[in-house]
Chain A
Amino acid sequence: MFEKDFLDKLRAESEKWDKSVENAKERNVKFETDSGIPIKKVYTPLDVKSNYFDKVGYPGVPPYTRGVYPTMYRGRVWTMRLFSGHGTPEETNKRWKYLYENGETGFSAAVDALTFNGIDPTNTDGDAEVGTAGVPLYCIDSMFALTEGLPIDKVSVALVVEPFSSAPVCAMYYNMAKMRGLDIKSLMGTTQNDILTMTVGYIPYRNVAPNHLLRLACDLIEWTVPMKNVPRWHPINFTGYNYREGGIDAVQELGFVFASACSHIDNLIERGWKVDDFVNRLAFHLAAHKDFFEEIAKYRAARRIWAKLMKDRYEAQDPKSMEFRFHIQTAGSSLTAQTPLVNVIRTSIQALEATLGGCQSLHTNSYDEAICLPTEEASLIALRTQQVISDESRITNTVDPLAGSYYVEWLTDEVEDRVWKYIDKIEKVGNIAKALDTGFLYKEMRDAFQKRQNRIERGEEIMLGVNKYPVPYDEITQVFRTNELAVEIEKNRIIKLKERRDNAKLETLLDKLRGVCEREENVMPVMMEVTKEGATIGEVCNIYREIWKVWEPPIAI
């Protein structure tokens, strides 16, 4: 990147300087990134090896290292999208309205564990969790209640459900939008639809095997985008965030998402589509964790890797196919239940990483989230954290302001190199379904969270209030409680629905779904029919279980 004469002179100067500080005293800690990359005292132009034009370049131009849009936040700041849901759809709607009135610019539905796992509230294995960790969305009526009075024709909505329940939940949402008079061809939003979230991020409760989940995820992609039913939708959001939270590092996080994304692209190519038909609508969801510069390098490296993958491996022609667009969530696992107000500071720093790194959309955690779902007050502070950055800090004045930092450019290259190697390691096992089935990814996760736990217990990863300046775990002031009546409310919602619907007609349609599942055809067309007729999430997912059988994840302790 620099002239040869200059570099020769610098090399000589650097050797001198290195010698002069050889015996300088340093603290007795490992100077390395969170993912274990060793870090030098200082970086100079000698460390910036890559060609500026090939590897860095301009925002809005491949390889997009500096950002996917030419003007980035000068054009439009990131979408402020707080992942939110609790109790009932009505209560969640109230919280969404509150955040929207306070400047939120996107909605994101955090669903409960029953919605994730496709079970109805009458199931006594899970009935105590109706609405406790997210909003229950079990039938089309829930979608009307969730979005009542909200401008979903203008504001995008993220439905955070995974392949096991994404088809019925999306179909319920699309049907609701149609019945509200909206054209779903212009509907904006995202479905998380991430195979790894409910397999290794969390363990699945009576879901089906990974090869079926992969196909279900691709059914939604195919039906919405290349088949042009909901062409502005993001039908998948590869969610490195969830497994990163489980303990893997920044390099593994990108390795997991890229290996997974390639498996989905391969599936759609097998169905006869070209990458340029759909790849621009695939989105990503990454973490903003504790290592400030490594996270920024990670976002820059991710954009470059994706552009290269699309151009070289998949021979994409459209530059838009090479754009890596991503949502960020600040790291929940960095928060402490001890002195929770410190979490506001942690989240602020992580939000700065996300925005200096060029995210398209951001969730900031509330300070009480190590203990409970957020109170209204805590969620407002989380939103204000983003607004302080967007409206007060002026970091939005220029694009990719950390480019050209010798350290950041070097670290971007270093992260990129390591990610390519890790993608190879996963792909040697096979596609993402095989990497799950063989237990490979479970072992990677387990080893990673064991390592992180050991580091925390040895004090190598500092958590203030826990392993440094510890305080007892009893200082929480206000704990948010979800509605205890939610289970009865949701059971009644389904009873009313069942009284109203044409059960004979629905049975015929559910049989049609059985046939589609047996033949392994795209489930979406019939899913639109069954959910419109009032099928519940449990009724649909039980058909998956019946035809494809329940899968036990290969977990060994």
Chain B
Amino acid sequence: MSKPGVDGHWRGGVIVSRGLRDAGMEVVFGGFQNVEQIVESAINEDVDVIGLSMHSGAHIEYTKRVIDLLDDRGVKDSFMILCGGVIPAQDFPKLEEMGVAKVFGPGTVIQDIVDFIRENVKE
């Protein structure tokens, strides 16, 4: 779970991380990470899912940079990418076209994220 950029809204990322951990998943909470750090830690920690928590309005740009770098490293298909935070519904299709598996907007119930990961991550 990472916060790309420099915006400090931290509640969402922490709440979701705790929820996933309580559901039995292993969570690496990265806090603020730049694009290189996100990709590096995803590879080093061998995670299944990269969660990007964004409340800055810059979600399209940061997500694009993360995906581009994963692509450059040739590991784009090794990870499922989820986005969450204050993201207008109009932007969901755009993010999904870029390769995001799903976007969780305001009002999300954490169990829905747990269920989505369980159903879509291969054992």
Which secondary structure dominates where chain B touches chain A? loop
Determine the chain A residues whose CB is within 8 A of the CB of B110 once the complex forms.
Answer: 453, 457
Determine the chain A residues whose CB is within 8 A of the CB of B109 once the complex forms.
Answer: 457
Q: How near does chain A come to B116, taking the closest CB pair, in angstroms?
A: 15
Is B39 on the interface with A (CB-CB < 8 A)? no
Q: Mark B83-95, 1 if CB is under 8 A from A, else 0.
A: 0001011100000
Q: Mark A120-152, 1 if CB is under 8 A from B, else 0.
A: 000011101100110000000000000000000
Contact at B6–A125, with CB atoms within 8 Å? yes
Contact at B88–A203, with CB atoms within 8 Å? no
Contact at A337–B105, with CB atoms within 8 Å? yes
The answer, among B15, B27, B57, for a CB contact under 8 Å with A372, is B57
Determine the chain A residues whose CB is within 8 A of the CB of B88 once the complex forms.
Answer: 371-372, 476, 479
Is B118 on the interface with A (CB-CB < 8 A)? no
Contact at B21–A132, with CB atoms within 8 Å? no
Given contacts A114-B6, A119-B6, A124-B34, contact A370 B106 (CB under 8 A): yes
Q: Mark A226-249, 1 if CB is under 8 A from B, else 0.
A: 000000000000000000001100
Is A116 on the interface with B (CB-CB < 8 A)? yes
Contact at B14–A449, with CB atoms within 8 Å? yes
Is A463 on the interface with B (CB-CB < 8 A)? yes
| Residues of chain A from 62 to 115 with CB closer than 8 A to chain B in the complex | 113-114
Given contacts A133-B57, A203-B8, A473-B89, contact A128 B62 (CB under 8 A): yes
| Residues of chain A from 483 to 520 with CB closer than 8 A to chain B in the complex | none
Contact at B32–A205, with CB atoms within 8 Å? yes
Instruction: Determine the interface band of chain A, counting residues with CB < 8 A from chain B.
Output: 35 or more
Is A2 on the interface with B (CB-CB < 8 A)? no
Contact at A113–B56, with CB atoms within 8 Å? yes
Is A434 on the interface with B (CB-CB < 8 A)? no
Contact at A479–B90, with CB atoms within 8 Å? yes
Determine the chain A residues whose CB is within 8 A of the CB of B34 once the complex forms.
Answer: 124-125
Contact at A204–B106, with CB atoms within 8 Å? no
Given contacts A370-B86, A457-B110, contact A125 B11 (CB under 8 A): no
Contact at A203–B10, with CB atoms within 8 Å? yes
Q: A446 vs B61: C-alpha distance in the bound complex, in angstroms?
A: 29
Q: Mark B77-113, 1 if CB is under 8 A from A, else 0.
A: 0000000001011100000000000000111011100
Contact at A202–B9, with CB atoms within 8 Å? yes
Scoring B11, B29, B88 by chain A CB atoms within 10 A of each residue's CB, the highest score goes to B11
Can you list 5 A-B pairs with a CB-CB distance of less than 8 A? A128-B62, A203-B32, A337-B107, A371-B86, A555-B14
User: Top 9 nearest A-B pairs by Cβ distance?
Assistant: A202-B8, A132-B57, A126-B6, A128-B61, A128-B58, A205-B6, A466-B107, A337-B106, A474-B89
Q: A117-B6, A126-B5, A337-B107 are in contact. List 10 more A-B contacts (CB 8 A).
A: A133-B7, A203-B31, A205-B6, A336-B106, A337-B89, A338-B107, A450-B15, A453-B15, A457-B110, A555-B31
Residues of A within 8 A of B (CB): 113-114, 116-117, 119, 124-126, 128-129, 132-133, 198, 201-205, 246-247, 336-338, 370-373, 446, 449-450, 453, 457, 463, 465-466, 473-476, 479, 482, 555, 557
